[in-house]
Structure 1
Protein backbone atom coordinates (compact mmCIF):
# COMPACT_ATOMS: atom_id res chain seq x y z
CA UNK A 1 0.00 0.00 0.00
CA UNK A 2 2.41 2.47 -1.09
CA UNK A 3 1.11 5.88 -0.30
CA UNK A 4 2.60 8.86 -1.82
CA UNK A 5 2.10 12.36 -0.81
CA UNK A 6 -0.96 14.35 -1.35
CA UNK A 7 -0.59 17.32 -3.61
CA UNK A 8 -3.25 19.91 -2.80
CA UNK A 9 -3.15 21.26 -6.29
CA UNK A 10 -4.39 17.92 -7.57
CA UNK A 11 -6.50 17.41 -4.55
CA UNK A 12 -10.11 16.62 -4.70
CA UNK A 13 -10.31 14.13 -7.52
CA UNK A 14 -7.41 12.05 -6.36
CA UNK A 15 -7.98 12.18 -2.65
CA UNK A 16 -10.99 10.04 -2.93
CA UNK A 17 -8.99 6.89 -3.25
CA UNK A 18 -7.17 7.96 -0.19
CA UNK A 19 -10.26 8.38 1.77
CA UNK A 20 -10.60 4.76 2.53
CA UNK A 21 -7.88 2.52 1.36
CA UNK A 22 -4.18 2.32 1.69
CA UNK A 23 -4.02 1.42 -1.92
CA UNK A 24 -1.55 2.94 -4.33
CA UNK A 25 -2.33 5.40 -7.07
CA UNK A 26 -0.52 6.63 -10.12
CA UNK A 27 2.35 9.03 -9.87
CA UNK A 28 1.48 12.55 -9.11
CA UNK A 29 -1.82 11.49 -7.64
CA UNK A 30 -2.72 11.06 -4.04
CA UNK A 31 -4.52 8.69 -1.79
CA UNK A 32 -5.63 8.89 1.83
CA UNK A 33 -4.71 7.31 5.11
CA UNK A 34 -2.27 4.57 5.41
CA UNK A 35 -2.38 3.78 1.94
CA UNK A 36 -5.18 5.96 2.06
CA UNK A 37 -3.08 8.84 2.06
CA UNK A 38 -4.57 12.05 2.95
CA UNK A 39 -3.81 11.35 -0.17
CA UNK A 40 -0.99 10.13 -1.30
CA UNK A 41 0.34 7.20 -3.54
CA UNK A 42 2.37 8.21 -6.52
CA UNK A 43 3.45 4.86 -7.64
CA UNK A 44 1.15 2.44 -9.33
CA UNK A 45 0.83 -1.05 -7.99
CA UNK A 46 3.84 -3.09 -8.97
CA UNK A 47 2.23 -6.51 -8.81
CA UNK A 48 2.66 -8.57 -11.98
CA UNK A 49 1.74 -11.98 -13.27
CA UNK A 50 4.12 -14.76 -12.30
CA UNK A 51 6.76 -15.34 -14.92
CA UNK A 52 6.84 -18.67 -16.70
CA UNK A 53 10.36 -18.20 -18.08
CA UNK A 54 12.81 -20.90 -16.93
CA UNK A 55 15.11 -19.77 -14.17
CA UNK A 56 13.11 -16.60 -13.43
CA UNK A 57 11.58 -16.59 -9.93
CA UNK A 58 7.94 -15.62 -9.57
CA UNK A 59 7.46 -12.19 -7.99
CA UNK A 60 6.46 -12.16 -4.34
CA UNK A 61 2.92 -11.05 -3.57
CA UNK A 62 2.74 -7.70 -1.83
CA UNK A 63 1.74 -7.83 1.85
CA UNK A 64 -1.78 -6.69 2.73
CA UNK A 65 -1.62 -6.26 6.52
CA UNK A 66 -0.21 -3.36 8.51
CA UNK A 67 1.41 -5.99 10.72
CA UNK A 68 3.66 -6.73 7.71
CA UNK A 69 4.79 -3.14 7.24
CA UNK A 70 8.58 -3.05 6.60
CA UNK A 71 10.79 -2.30 9.60
CA UNK A 72 13.31 -0.44 7.40
CA UNK A 73 12.82 2.16 4.63
CA UNK A 74 11.23 0.38 1.67
CA UNK A 75 10.12 0.76 -1.93
CA UNK A 76 6.46 0.57 -3.04
CA UNK A 77 6.37 -3.16 -3.71
CA UNK A 78 7.33 -3.92 -0.11
CA UNK A 79 4.66 -1.77 1.56
CA UNK A 80 1.24 -3.33 2.36
CA UNK A 81 -1.63 -2.43 0.07
CA UNK A 82 -5.37 -2.75 0.46
CA UNK A 83 -5.65 -1.88 4.16
CA UNK A 84 -8.36 0.64 4.98
CA UNK A 85 -7.78 3.67 7.17
CA UNK A 86 -10.20 4.14 10.05
CA UNK A 87 -11.52 6.95 12.19
CA UNK A 88 -8.71 8.04 14.53
CA UNK A 89 -11.11 8.79 17.40
CA UNK A 90 -14.87 9.30 17.55
CA UNK A 91 -15.63 13.01 17.79
CA UNK A 92 -12.08 14.09 16.90
CA UNK A 93 -11.94 16.30 13.79
CA UNK A 94 -8.42 17.72 14.07
CA UNK A 95 -9.80 21.09 12.95
CA UNK A 96 -8.28 23.18 15.74
CA UNK A 97 -4.85 21.66 15.12
CA UNK A 98 -5.21 22.18 11.36
CA UNK A 99 -6.16 25.84 11.77
CA UNK A 100 -3.28 26.44 14.18
CA UNK A 101 -0.79 24.77 11.87
CA UNK A 102 -2.04 26.77 8.87
CA UNK A 103 -1.80 30.02 10.83
CA UNK A 104 1.67 29.29 12.22
CA UNK A 105 3.04 28.51 8.74
CA UNK A 106 1.08 31.12 6.76
CA UNK A 107 -0.82 28.54 4.73
CA UNK A 108 -4.06 29.39 2.93
CA UNK A 109 -6.79 27.16 4.33
CA UNK A 110 -9.47 26.10 1.87
CA UNK A 111 -13.07 25.15 2.51
CA UNK A 112 -13.98 21.59 3.33
CA UNK A 113 -15.21 19.65 0.30
CA UNK A 114 -17.18 16.45 -0.06
CA UNK A 115 -15.51 13.75 -2.11
CA UNK A 116 -18.11 11.74 -3.98
CA UNK A 117 -16.00 9.49 -6.17
CA UNK A 118 -15.75 6.13 -4.45
CA UNK A 119 -16.79 6.01 -0.79
CA UNK A 120 -17.93 9.51 0.21
CA UNK A 121 -15.62 11.47 2.52
CA UNK A 122 -14.74 15.05 3.47
CA UNK A 123 -11.47 16.77 2.57
CA UNK A 124 -9.93 20.05 3.70
CA UNK A 125 -6.45 21.35 3.02
CA UNK A 126 -4.11 24.33 3.25
CA UNK A 127 -1.16 25.32 1.09
CA UNK A 128 1.62 27.87 0.99
CA UNK A 129 4.71 28.75 -1.05
CA UNK A 130 7.31 30.29 1.30
CA UNK A 131 9.76 30.79 -1.57
CA UNK A 132 9.46 30.57 -5.34
CA UNK A 133 8.97 26.95 -6.37
CA UNK A 134 8.81 25.59 -2.81
CA UNK A 135 5.68 24.30 -1.11
CA UNK A 136 4.28 23.43 2.30
CA UNK A 137 0.83 21.89 2.50
CA UNK A 138 -1.47 19.98 4.80
CA UNK A 139 -4.58 17.92 4.14
CA UNK A 140 -7.17 16.10 6.24
CA UNK A 141 -9.69 13.44 5.28
CA UNK A 142 -12.76 12.82 7.44
CA UNK A 143 -15.77 10.57 7.30
CA UNK A 144 -19.16 12.14 6.64
CA UNK A 145 -19.74 12.55 10.37
CA UNK A 146 -16.65 14.79 10.46
CA UNK A 147 -14.35 12.40 12.34
CA UNK A 148 -10.72 12.48 11.19
CA UNK A 149 -9.42 9.48 9.25
CA UNK A 150 -6.07 10.75 8.01
CA UNK A 151 -3.89 13.84 8.29
CA UNK A 152 -0.88 14.64 6.20
CA UNK A 153 1.72 17.30 5.64
CA UNK A 154 3.82 17.67 2.52
CA UNK A 155 6.96 19.74 2.02
CA UNK A 156 9.48 20.23 -0.72
CA UNK A 157 13.06 19.98 0.53
CA UNK A 158 13.82 23.50 -0.70
CA UNK A 159 11.16 25.06 1.54
CA UNK A 160 12.64 27.06 4.45
CA UNK A 161 12.38 25.16 7.77
CA UNK A 162 10.63 22.24 6.08
CA UNK A 163 11.91 19.76 8.69
CA UNK A 164 10.45 21.90 11.46
CA UNK A 165 7.16 21.95 9.58
CA UNK A 166 7.08 18.15 9.35
CA UNK A 167 7.86 17.88 13.07
CA UNK A 168 4.96 20.21 13.78
CA UNK A 169 2.70 17.94 11.73
CA UNK A 170 3.50 14.78 13.72
CA UNK A 171 2.39 16.72 16.80
CA UNK A 172 -1.26 16.09 15.81
CA UNK A 173 -3.12 16.15 19.13
CA UNK A 174 -5.44 13.17 18.69
CA UNK A 175 -6.43 11.21 21.83
CA UNK A 176 -3.54 8.96 22.87
CA UNK A 177 -0.95 10.85 20.83
CA UNK A 178 2.61 11.47 22.03
CA UNK A 179 3.94 14.52 20.13
CA UNK A 180 7.35 14.45 21.81
CA UNK A 181 7.93 10.79 20.94
CA UNK A 182 6.66 11.41 17.41
CA UNK A 183 9.13 14.28 16.91
CA UNK A 184 11.98 12.08 18.16
CA UNK A 185 10.88 9.29 15.81
CA UNK A 186 10.81 11.64 12.81
CA UNK A 187 14.26 13.02 13.59
CA UNK A 188 15.64 9.49 13.65
CA UNK A 189 13.83 8.02 10.67
CA UNK A 190 14.33 10.86 8.16
CA UNK A 191 18.09 10.25 7.67
CA UNK A 192 17.33 6.57 7.06
CA UNK A 193 14.80 7.42 4.36
CA UNK A 194 17.16 9.97 2.80
CA UNK A 195 19.98 7.42 2.66
CA UNK A 196 17.91 4.75 0.91
CA UNK A 197 16.34 7.31 -1.43
CA UNK A 198 19.79 8.58 -2.43
CA UNK A 199 21.03 5.05 -3.08
CA UNK A 200 18.07 4.19 -5.33
CA UNK A 201 19.33 4.51 -8.90
CA UNK A 202 15.84 5.05 -10.30
CA UNK A 203 14.80 7.30 -7.39
CA UNK A 204 11.78 5.18 -6.51
CA UNK A 205 9.58 6.58 -3.75
CA UNK A 206 10.71 5.44 -0.30
CA UNK A 207 8.46 4.83 2.71
CA UNK A 208 9.64 4.69 6.32
CA UNK A 209 8.77 2.14 9.01
CA UNK A 210 5.58 2.91 10.93
CA UNK A 211 5.28 4.79 14.17
CA UNK A 212 2.37 3.21 16.04
CA UNK A 213 0.80 5.28 18.82
CA UNK A 214 -2.69 4.88 20.22
CA UNK A 215 -5.29 4.58 17.46
CA UNK A 216 -3.13 6.12 14.72
CA UNK A 217 -0.07 5.11 12.73
CA UNK A 218 2.41 7.49 11.09
CA UNK A 219 4.94 7.16 8.30
CA UNK A 220 7.33 9.39 6.37
CA UNK A 221 7.38 9.20 2.59
CA UNK A 222 9.87 10.70 0.14
CA UNK A 223 9.31 10.96 -3.58
CA UNK A 224 10.96 12.64 -6.54
CA UNK A 225 8.04 15.03 -7.17
CA UNK A 226 10.09 18.20 -7.14
CA UNK A 227 13.69 18.96 -8.10
CA UNK A 228 14.71 18.99 -4.43
CA UNK A 229 12.61 15.99 -3.40
CA UNK A 230 9.21 15.98 -1.69
CA UNK A 231 8.45 14.66 1.81
CA UNK A 232 5.09 13.57 3.16
CA UNK A 233 4.23 12.76 6.76
CA UNK A 234 0.96 10.87 7.04
CA UNK A 235 -1.01 9.91 10.12
CA UNK A 236 -3.98 7.58 9.70
CA UNK A 237 -6.52 5.80 11.85
CA UNK A 238 -5.46 2.21 12.49
CA UNK A 239 -7.42 0.99 15.50
CA UNK A 240 -7.74 -2.79 15.46
CA UNK A 241 -5.25 -3.12 12.60
CA UNK A 242 -3.13 -5.82 14.22
CA UNK A 243 -0.82 -3.71 16.35
Structure 2
Protein backbone atom coordinates (compact mmCIF):
# COMPACT_ATOMS: atom_id res chain seq x y z
CA UNK A 1 0.00 0.00 0.00
CA UNK A 2 1.43 3.45 -0.91
CA UNK A 3 2.46 5.48 2.17
CA UNK A 4 -0.14 8.23 1.56
CA UNK A 5 -2.96 5.72 1.29
CA UNK A 6 -1.72 3.90 4.39
CA UNK A 7 -1.69 7.14 6.40
CA UNK A 8 -5.21 7.98 5.24
CA UNK A 9 -6.51 4.52 6.14
CA UNK A 10 -4.80 4.77 9.52
CA UNK A 11 -6.36 8.16 10.23
CA UNK A 12 -9.87 7.01 9.35
CA UNK A 13 -9.39 3.88 11.43
CA UNK A 14 -8.32 5.99 14.41
CA UNK A 15 -11.44 8.14 14.13
CA UNK A 16 -13.71 5.12 13.84
CA UNK A 17 -12.00 3.44 16.76
CA UNK A 18 -12.33 6.55 18.93
CA UNK A 19 -16.04 6.67 18.20
CA UNK A 20 -16.51 2.96 18.87
CA UNK A 21 -14.76 3.12 22.21
CA UNK A 22 -16.58 6.31 23.11
CA UNK A 23 -19.85 4.58 22.31
CA UNK A 24 -18.87 1.65 24.53
CA UNK A 25 -17.89 4.01 27.33
CA UNK A 26 -21.26 5.75 27.19
CA UNK A 27 -23.42 2.70 26.47
CA UNK A 28 -25.46 3.27 29.62
CA UNK A 29 -26.23 6.83 28.48
CA UNK A 30 -26.48 8.26 24.97
CA UNK A 31 -24.64 6.32 22.28
CA UNK A 32 -22.16 8.29 20.22
CA UNK A 33 -22.15 8.42 16.45
CA UNK A 34 -18.71 8.24 14.87
CA UNK A 35 -16.80 11.02 13.13
CA UNK A 36 -15.82 8.37 10.57
CA UNK A 37 -16.84 4.82 9.74
CA UNK A 38 -14.83 4.03 6.63
CA UNK A 39 -14.34 0.40 5.72
CA UNK A 40 -12.41 -0.55 8.83
CA UNK A 41 -12.66 -3.14 11.56
CA UNK A 42 -12.06 -1.50 14.96
CA UNK A 43 -10.84 -3.74 17.72
CA UNK A 44 -13.65 -2.68 20.04
CA UNK A 45 -16.30 -5.35 20.76
CA UNK A 46 -18.84 -5.78 17.99
CA UNK A 47 -21.65 -4.68 20.29
CA UNK A 48 -19.88 -1.35 20.79
CA UNK A 49 -19.34 -0.55 17.12
CA UNK A 50 -21.49 2.17 15.56
CA UNK A 51 -23.95 1.07 12.91
CA UNK A 52 -23.84 4.05 10.55
CA UNK A 53 -23.56 3.35 6.80
CA UNK A 54 -20.24 2.87 5.08
CA UNK A 55 -19.02 5.99 3.25
CA UNK A 56 -19.44 6.37 -0.48
CA UNK A 57 -16.14 8.11 -1.13
CA UNK A 58 -12.56 7.92 0.07
CA UNK A 59 -11.37 11.43 -0.84
CA UNK A 60 -8.67 12.81 1.46
CA UNK A 61 -8.74 16.38 0.06
CA UNK A 62 -10.36 18.74 2.57
CA UNK A 63 -10.92 21.26 -0.23
CA UNK A 64 -13.70 18.92 -1.40
CA UNK A 65 -15.63 19.52 1.82
CA UNK A 66 -19.06 21.17 1.20
CA UNK A 67 -19.45 24.86 2.07
CA UNK A 68 -22.96 24.22 3.45
CA UNK A 69 -24.28 21.61 5.92
CA UNK A 70 -24.62 18.33 4.06
CA UNK A 71 -25.72 14.74 4.51
CA UNK A 72 -23.14 11.98 4.88
CA UNK A 73 -23.07 11.00 1.21
CA UNK A 74 -21.83 14.52 0.34
CA UNK A 75 -18.97 14.52 2.89
CA UNK A 76 -15.49 13.33 1.82
CA UNK A 77 -14.43 10.29 3.81
CA UNK A 78 -10.89 9.12 4.44
CA UNK A 79 -9.79 12.49 5.80
CA UNK A 80 -6.50 12.39 7.62
CA UNK A 81 -6.16 13.16 11.30
CA UNK A 82 -2.57 13.93 12.23
CA UNK A 83 -1.11 15.51 15.37
CA UNK A 84 -2.47 18.97 16.06
CA UNK A 85 1.12 20.06 16.70
CA UNK A 86 4.40 18.38 17.51
CA UNK A 87 4.68 18.10 21.28
CA UNK A 88 1.08 19.19 21.91
CA UNK A 89 -0.59 16.63 24.19
CA UNK A 90 -3.75 18.59 25.00
CA UNK A 91 -3.65 17.20 28.54
CA UNK A 92 -4.16 20.54 30.29
CA UNK A 93 -7.11 21.37 28.03
CA UNK A 94 -8.70 17.93 28.48
CA UNK A 95 -8.20 18.06 32.25
CA UNK A 96 -9.96 21.45 32.42
CA UNK A 97 -12.78 20.26 30.16
CA UNK A 98 -13.34 17.10 32.19
CA UNK A 99 -13.24 18.96 35.51
CA UNK A 100 -15.64 21.68 34.33
CA UNK A 101 -18.20 19.15 33.16
CA UNK A 102 -17.72 16.45 35.81
CA UNK A 103 -16.52 13.91 33.29
CA UNK A 104 -14.45 11.01 34.62
CA UNK A 105 -11.94 10.22 31.89
CA UNK A 106 -10.63 6.67 31.88
CA UNK A 107 -6.86 6.10 31.91
CA UNK A 108 -5.25 6.12 28.50
CA UNK A 109 -5.33 2.74 26.79
CA UNK A 110 -3.11 1.59 23.96
CA UNK A 111 -5.27 0.11 21.23
CA UNK A 112 -4.77 -1.24 17.73
CA UNK A 113 -6.45 0.74 15.00
CA UNK A 114 -7.40 -2.22 12.87
CA UNK A 115 -6.58 -5.90 12.84
CA UNK A 116 -3.90 -6.52 10.25
CA UNK A 117 -3.21 -2.81 9.64
CA UNK A 118 0.46 -1.89 9.33
CA UNK A 119 -0.20 1.41 11.10
CA UNK A 120 0.97 1.61 14.73
CA UNK A 121 -1.37 1.50 17.71
CA UNK A 122 -2.59 4.71 19.35
CA UNK A 123 -3.48 5.92 22.82
CA UNK A 124 -7.18 6.46 23.56
CA UNK A 125 -9.17 7.81 26.49
CA UNK A 126 -12.88 8.53 26.91
CA UNK A 127 -15.35 9.52 29.59
CA UNK A 128 -19.01 10.34 30.25
CA UNK A 129 -20.47 12.88 32.63
CA UNK A 130 -22.31 11.83 35.76
CA UNK A 131 -26.09 12.25 35.86
CA UNK A 132 -28.55 12.29 32.98
CA UNK A 133 -26.86 14.75 30.61
CA UNK A 134 -24.60 12.10 29.02
CA UNK A 135 -21.91 14.53 27.90
CA UNK A 136 -19.03 12.56 26.44
CA UNK A 137 -15.40 13.29 25.55
CA UNK A 138 -12.88 11.09 23.74
CA UNK A 139 -9.30 11.76 22.67
CA UNK A 140 -6.73 9.98 20.51
CA UNK A 141 -2.94 10.39 20.74
CA UNK A 142 -0.02 9.01 18.79
CA UNK A 143 2.24 6.61 20.66
CA UNK A 144 4.67 9.50 21.18
CA UNK A 145 1.91 11.40 22.99
CA UNK A 146 0.89 14.02 20.41
CA UNK A 147 -2.87 14.69 20.32
CA UNK A 148 -4.57 13.69 17.05
CA UNK A 149 -8.23 14.43 17.74
CA UNK A 150 -10.93 15.25 20.28
CA UNK A 151 -14.57 14.19 20.02
CA UNK A 152 -17.43 15.59 22.16
CA UNK A 153 -21.07 14.51 22.05
CA UNK A 154 -24.22 15.68 23.78
CA UNK A 155 -27.97 15.10 23.44
CA UNK A 156 -29.62 18.11 21.80
CA UNK A 157 -31.86 18.65 24.83
CA UNK A 158 -29.08 18.43 27.42
CA UNK A 159 -28.88 21.45 29.75
CA UNK A 160 -26.01 23.77 28.80
CA UNK A 161 -25.18 21.66 25.75
CA UNK A 162 -24.28 24.81 23.76
CA UNK A 163 -21.69 25.90 26.35
CA UNK A 164 -20.26 22.38 26.53
CA UNK A 165 -19.75 22.23 22.77
CA UNK A 166 -18.23 25.72 22.74
CA UNK A 167 -15.80 24.59 25.43
CA UNK A 168 -14.87 21.57 23.33
CA UNK A 169 -14.41 23.59 20.13
CA UNK A 170 -12.25 26.03 22.10
CA UNK A 171 -9.30 23.65 22.28
CA UNK A 172 -6.00 25.49 22.79
CA UNK A 173 -3.74 23.86 20.20
CA UNK A 174 -1.04 26.07 18.63
CA UNK A 175 -2.69 28.39 16.13
CA UNK A 176 -6.11 28.01 17.78
CA UNK A 177 -8.65 30.81 18.14
CA UNK A 178 -11.05 29.68 20.89
CA UNK A 179 -13.24 32.81 20.61
CA UNK A 180 -13.43 32.44 16.85
CA UNK A 181 -14.32 28.76 17.18
CA UNK A 182 -17.09 29.56 19.68
CA UNK A 183 -18.52 32.26 17.41
CA UNK A 184 -18.38 29.88 14.44
CA UNK A 185 -20.20 27.20 16.41
CA UNK A 186 -22.93 29.59 17.55
CA UNK A 187 -23.54 30.69 13.97
CA UNK A 188 -23.29 27.22 12.48
CA UNK A 189 -25.68 25.41 14.83
CA UNK A 190 -28.90 26.95 13.40
CA UNK A 191 -27.72 26.13 9.88
CA UNK A 192 -27.08 22.51 10.83
CA UNK A 193 -30.45 22.34 12.62
CA UNK A 194 -32.23 23.55 9.47
CA UNK A 195 -30.39 21.06 7.25
CA UNK A 196 -31.09 18.22 9.68
CA UNK A 197 -34.79 19.01 9.85
CA UNK A 198 -34.96 19.04 6.06
CA UNK A 199 -32.96 15.85 5.54
CA UNK A 200 -34.19 13.88 8.54
CA UNK A 201 -30.77 12.24 8.64
CA UNK A 202 -27.21 12.77 9.82
CA UNK A 203 -25.80 16.16 8.76
CA UNK A 204 -22.24 17.51 8.98
CA UNK A 205 -21.34 21.19 8.96
CA UNK A 206 -18.74 22.91 6.81
CA UNK A 207 -15.25 22.89 8.31
CA UNK A 208 -13.86 25.53 10.62
CA UNK A 209 -10.13 25.84 10.04
CA UNK A 210 -7.74 27.34 12.57
CA UNK A 211 -3.99 26.78 12.37
CA UNK A 212 -3.23 23.09 11.72
CA UNK A 213 -6.69 21.90 12.79
CA UNK A 214 -10.21 21.50 11.45
CA UNK A 215 -13.52 21.24 13.30
CA UNK A 216 -17.00 20.23 12.29
CA UNK A 217 -20.40 19.98 13.97
CA UNK A 218 -22.61 16.96 13.38
CA UNK A 219 -26.29 16.47 14.18
CA UNK A 220 -27.55 12.91 14.06
CA UNK A 221 -30.65 10.92 15.07
CA UNK A 222 -31.01 8.67 18.09
CA UNK A 223 -33.78 6.03 17.90
CA UNK A 224 -36.74 7.08 20.03
CA UNK A 225 -34.90 10.13 21.41
CA UNK A 226 -34.03 13.71 20.63
CA UNK A 227 -31.18 14.12 18.14
CA UNK A 228 -27.61 14.58 19.36
CA UNK A 229 -24.68 16.83 18.47
CA UNK A 230 -21.06 15.90 17.94
CA UNK A 231 -18.07 18.24 17.69
CA UNK A 232 -14.93 16.73 16.18
CA UNK A 233 -11.57 18.54 16.21
CA UNK A 234 -8.72 16.91 14.27
CA UNK A 235 -5.25 17.73 13.02
CA UNK A 236 -4.85 18.38 9.31
CA UNK A 237 -1.10 18.92 9.02
CA UNK A 238 -1.83 22.09 7.07
CA UNK A 239 -1.43 25.44 8.85
CA UNK A 240 -4.08 27.84 7.56
CA UNK A 241 -5.73 31.06 8.55
CA UNK A 242 -9.17 30.91 10.13
CA UNK A 243 -11.87 29.94 7.62
CA UNK A 244 -15.46 28.81 7.85
Could you tell me the TM-score, scaled by structure 2's length? 0.76
CA distance in 1, matches of 2:36, 2:167: 26
Structure showing the higher strand proportion among its residues? 2
**Deviation digits for residues 156-202 of structure 1, max 9, x if unmatched?**
112211111000101101011000000000000010001111112xx
Structure showing the higher helix proportion among its residues? 2
Change (3 A) 1:82 1:186: same
Shift in Å at residue 115 of structure 1? 1.1
Aligned to 2:110: 114
Aligned to 2:30: none
Whether 1:10 and 2:24 are equivalent positions in the alignment is yes
CA distance in 2, matches of 1:208, 1:98: 23
Pairwise CA RMSD: 2.9
Matched-pair contact (CA < 8 Å) for 2:211–2:240: no
Aligned to 1:141: 140
CA distance in 1, matches of 2:210, 2:50: 22
Whether 1:230 and 2:228 are equivalent positions in the alignment is yes
CA distance in 1, matches of 2:50, 2:209: 20
Could you tell me the TM-score, scaled by structure 1's length? 0.76
Matched-pair contact (CA < 8 Å) for 1:135–1:155: yes
Q: Aligned to 2:217, which of 203, 212, 220?
A: 220
Change (3 A) 1:140 1:11: same
CA distance in 1, matches of 2:75, 2:138: 22
Whether 1:79 and 2:79 are equivalent positions in the alignment is no
